[in-house]
Amino acid sequence: MDKSPNVVRHQPAVIRSRRETLNGHRSVNLWFTGLSGSGKSTLAHAVEERLHLMGCRTYVFDGDNVRHGLCRDLGFSPEDRSENLRRIAEMVHLFIDTGVIALTAFISPLRADREKVRSIVGPENFIEIYCSCPLEICEQRDVKGLYQKARRGEISNYTGISSPYEPPVAPDLTFDTNTQTVNECIKTVVLYLKEMGIII
Q: Classify strands 126-132 and 28-33 as parallel, antiparallel or unpaired.
A: parallel
Closest CA to 84 of 70, 94, 98: 70
**Please, are residues 42 and 129 in contact by the beta-carbon 8 Å criterion?**
no
**Please, are residues 190 and 199 in contact by the beta-carbon 8 Å criterion?**
yes
What is the Cα–Cα distance from 200 to 198, expressed in whole angstroms? Answer: 7
What is the Cα–Cα distance from 22 to 180, expressed in whole angstroms? Answer: 35
Q: What CA–CA distances, in Å, run from 87 to 58, 107, 140, 179?
A: 19, 15, 31, 33
Helix, strand or coil, per DSSP, at residue 6: coil
Closest CA to 182 of 57, 84, 67, 49: 49
Strand residues in 87-156 grouped as ranges (E): 101-105, 126-132
Whether 77 sits among the annotated catalytic residues: the reply is no
**Please, are residues 185 and 43 in contact by the beta-carbon 8 Å criterion?**
yes
Query: One of 27, 108, 132, 163 is an active-site residue; which one?
Result: 108
Active site residues: 108
